[in-house]
Structure 1
């Protein structure tokens, strides 16, 4: 019910093509292999090279890039957006489709649909330090926050004075809901994610505000996850992801899953 194999790179770096190729060989069951990963230039280059290598092993590879970060490009340029914590829902839906033995075409379609229905916005309150340099990867004041910053320290869309948890959550949700455009009676799944050092207590305060806002517009919450799911070393900050559900995507989300970092159903 989740991705079968993960290719691991160095910190904030794409895995090289050869390990990705080995992952494709390990995951291949005869029907093809679906690559799912965040939309970053280094990853795209290396995974595309790995797909060419896999073709030499007679493995058909297709790729679905996650592009859920609404801050990283305008709506009409979604293909340029980064993949961030929304990976969680796209990987879950894709893994469920594969686990249900759907056709390769259907697995790819569902993964793309899940990505199109996933919306994330993050806020950073402090930088992280790369192990090899031990230096912060950006600078921000103690009383500042950056809305829309990427998980590797990519620039956000606005920097301002630090607000309350409700104010920060509202600012993120305003942008997500404007993009998602839900109707009364719609259903979502929610992920409130720590970027590394933000504690659960603060995440649950944010989650409370997410529920209040969704209740106000008549959108029901099917499921919620709060915790460390897509982190950036010791960065202080958080992200909110909404997964806009329909019957098919809800079925994929509810499909049983049992892996090292996640268990459901």
Structure 2
């Protein structure tokens, strides 16, 4: 029987722990069912954390700013196992109401690079980051002034509406010829990525959307810096463009096809 390809986006969520994954899935869940063609998750055992756990009496700083002893390697392994179970349950809860299939895998490495390698063949990568603000923030598009992308705008509009959040655009024009005195009230123009990131540090954002193919973020280091500055989930389009710079070592089950099954083609 001929199978019909399910319309919509194939979305992969990458995170270093379940709390971060849950924040990303909250964004994905606000998309209408028709937007989601397949859902995946990759839980990344971050190399720095594993190395820290093997240093005797090593102190770490928590997300709240408190100092504590680093957990042992066995404690981290147990936590990752628990996080993996919770991650899979949340993937199912998010995908099942839409009829989309879902897959899950675990890997080791640096979060952003490992998640990008896993995202080869997917339409969108969402990198998780736990909520740090008590008051919900804005949905931010970070785009190049010379090549904005309609798909990014459409997704941001839906997410902002369903979260009752304001949407703003950070537009970067490296040449300076697109910057105008008159601009929409929700658009902020910058001459460089550095200027935009500096403004983002002063912005309470729930999610930042960016397209790697159209810019202004093109490099792995810039994407990692964006995650650090934004301190919220990143919704990343155009991942195939950056994957050419990475070694494809991450193994993840094939993305689901339109019938909720793994695509092995």
Fold shared per TM-score above 0.5: no
Using CA pairs under 8 Å that are at least 6 residues apart, name the structure with larger relative contact order, 1 or 2: 2
